[in-house]
């Protein structure tokens, strides 16, 4: 495990996540010119690690911005205004795709799931059968509800339809495998665009939009002479990614240093080991939350390993609960949109340590009791430990 000496609070929101000392060090390292060969080398290595982590997409872009900008880059570089997409919507971040589509005059249809559940694959198949979708968007983990998309079922369906597949990996990358070459389902169907950001399971600060493309997605971009983007047009950034040291917009030197350090830690741990650790974290946290007497919104078969959305028991007031935890140094997130006030969200990913998870469960138990809900914190911590170290 990476050293974690500089996190004085307990940052348990679903991103940004706590940073390892190596990442803090990288953020504070000497400023170099973006053209300095020492920085160019770091950038090259960051690109190569990203490419390897994602199973060798054709091209990878690391651009200043947040995950939302990565979503925008993915859409605008594959789909033109007036063309249509299908949005597989399993929560608030599905809604975000429709908002971006609206902003760019992209037509869309949606297949929606009740929050906390997955979409019905038959409904997806029926929608796809109508045809005419340039691309389909799929959120790997919808952070609003803690639901993990069913890649093995949905990706082959989508690819059989001939549409491009755009995956939002913001709350999954580096915690759940996402591969451009391994493929999903019996016919090994592949992703075309994977967009992500650094501040969740990768363990980097917020500020980078990371987008990877397949040859088919790049062909779609090449077939569009003009797109309604300039800063977000990958054609403008290609030179920077092919020849680190070059600039379009100035590469965010410190952020790329931090991202490089975070990815080195990912590789030190090993991708497979990291995926298994997140699986274990998710199971342990959900078991411990249930041992506190709480209900996780998403059913066990559909839950994400990275984040849990947890329903409040009768009588616990969201704002008061989170304020009481914040006073003890622990930050959790409120629920989003229609779930607001009814649940809280807790992240368990990236460089977060088992000790942090133990403290978090203990503090949740203590605070629930203070607010009149009887919870057995000691038992919940024991349940957590049993599952974490099994
Ligand atoms: N997609 C998902 C699944 C997310 O969880 C988030 C952020 N919580 C975003 C997109 C947007 O990322 P950002 O907040 O970095 O713009």
**Per-residue confidence of the chain (390 residues) as pLDDT tens digits?**
688 999 999 999 999 999 999 999 999 999 999 999 999 999 999 999 999 999 999 999 999 999 999 999 999 999 999 999 999 999 999 999 999 999 999 999 999 999 999 999 999 999 999 999 999 999 999 999 999 999 999 999 999 999 999 999 999 999 999 999 999 999 999 999 999 999 999 999 999 999 999 999 999 999 999 999 999 999 999 999 999 999 999 999 999 999 999 999 999 999 999 999 999 999 999 999 999 999 999 999 999 999 999 999 999 999 999 999 999 999 999 999 999 999 999 999 999 999 999 999 999 999 999 999 999 999 999 999 999 997
Ligand 1 atom nearest 139 alpha carbon = 3
**CB neighbours (10 Å) of residue 265?**
22
Ligand 1 atom closest to residue 169's alpha carbon, by position in its atom list: 3
- What are 337's strand-pairing partners? none
Phi, psi of 107 (to 5 degrees): -75, 150
- Cα–ligand 1 centroid distance for 169 (angstroms): 9
Residue 37 alpha carbon to ligand 1 centre in Å: 32
How far CA 277 is from CA of 229, 237, 283, 306, in Å, comes to 39, 35, 10, 10
Rounded to whole angstroms, the Cα distance separating 387 from 371 reads 27
What pTM was estimated for this model as a whole?
Answer: 0.98
pLDDT at 1: 66
Q: Whose CA is nearest to atom 9 of ligand 1?
A: 67
CB 26 within 8 A of CB 207: no
Distance between CA atoms of residues 276 and 270, nearest Å: 10
8 A C-beta contact, residue 180 and residue 214: yes
Of 98, 137, 143, best ligand 1 pocket probe by most atoms within 8 Å of the beta carbon: 143
Ligand 1 neighbours (beta carbon < 6 A): 15, 66-68, 71, 93, 139, 142-143, 168, 170-171, 197, 206
CA atoms within 13 A on the CB side of 118: 21
Q: Do residues 234 and 69 touch, judged by C-beta distance below 8 A?
A: no
Write the CA distances from 50 to 162, 232, 373, integer angstroms.
26, 19, 45
- Give the whole-angstrom CA distance, residue 176 versus residue 164: 21
Q: How far is CA 29 from CA 80, 200, 336, in A?
A: 41, 22, 36
């Amino acid at each position: 495990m990476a050293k974690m000496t500089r996190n004085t609070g307990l940052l348990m929101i679903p991103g940004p996540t706590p940073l390892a000392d190596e990442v803090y060090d990288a953020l504070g390292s000497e400023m170099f010119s973006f053209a300095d060969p020492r920085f160019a080398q770091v950038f090259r290595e960051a690109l190569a690690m990203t490419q390897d982590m994602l199973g060798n997409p054709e091209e990878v872009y690391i651009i200043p911005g947040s995950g939302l900008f990565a979503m925008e880059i993915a859409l605008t570089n594959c789909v033109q205004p007036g063309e249509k997409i299908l949005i597989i919507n399993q929560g608030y971040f599905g809604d975000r795709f429709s908002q971006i589509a609206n902003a760019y005059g992209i037509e869309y249809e949606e297949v929606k799931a009740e929050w906390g559940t997955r979409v019905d694959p038959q409904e997806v198949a029926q929608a796809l059968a109508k045809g005419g979708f340039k691309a389909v968007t799929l959120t790997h983990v919808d952070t609003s509800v803690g639901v993990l998309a069913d890649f093995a079922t949905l990706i082959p369906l989508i690819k059989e339809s001939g549409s491009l597949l755009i995956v939002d990996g913001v709350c999954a990358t580096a915690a759940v495998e996402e591969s451009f070459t391994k493929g999903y389902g019996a016919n090994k169907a592949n992703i075309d665009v994977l967009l992500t950001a650094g501040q969740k399971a990768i363990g980097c600060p917020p500020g980078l939009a990371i987008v990877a493309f397949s040859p088919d997605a790049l062909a779609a971009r090449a077939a569009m002479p003009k797109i309604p983007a300039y800063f977000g047009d990958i054609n403008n950034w290609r030179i920077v990614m092919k020849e680190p040291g070059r600039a379009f917009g100035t590469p965010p030197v410190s952020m790329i240093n931090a991202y490089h350090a975070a990815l080195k830690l990912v590789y030190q741990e090993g991708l497979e080991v990291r995926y298994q650790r997140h699986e274990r974290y998710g199971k342990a946290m959900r078991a411990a939350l249930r041992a506190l007497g709480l209900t996780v919104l998403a059913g066990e078969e559909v839950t994400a390993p990275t984040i849990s959305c947890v329903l409040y028991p009768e009588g616990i007031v969201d704002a008061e609960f989170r304020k009481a935890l914040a006073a003890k140094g622990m930050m959790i997130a409120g629920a989003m949109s229609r779930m607001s006030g009814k649940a809280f969200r807790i992240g368990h990913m990236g460089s977060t340590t088992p000790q942090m998870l133990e403290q978090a469960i203990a503090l949740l138990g203590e605070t629930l009791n203070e607010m009149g809900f009887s919870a057995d914190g000691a038992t919940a911590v024991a349940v957590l430990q049993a599952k974490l170290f099994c």
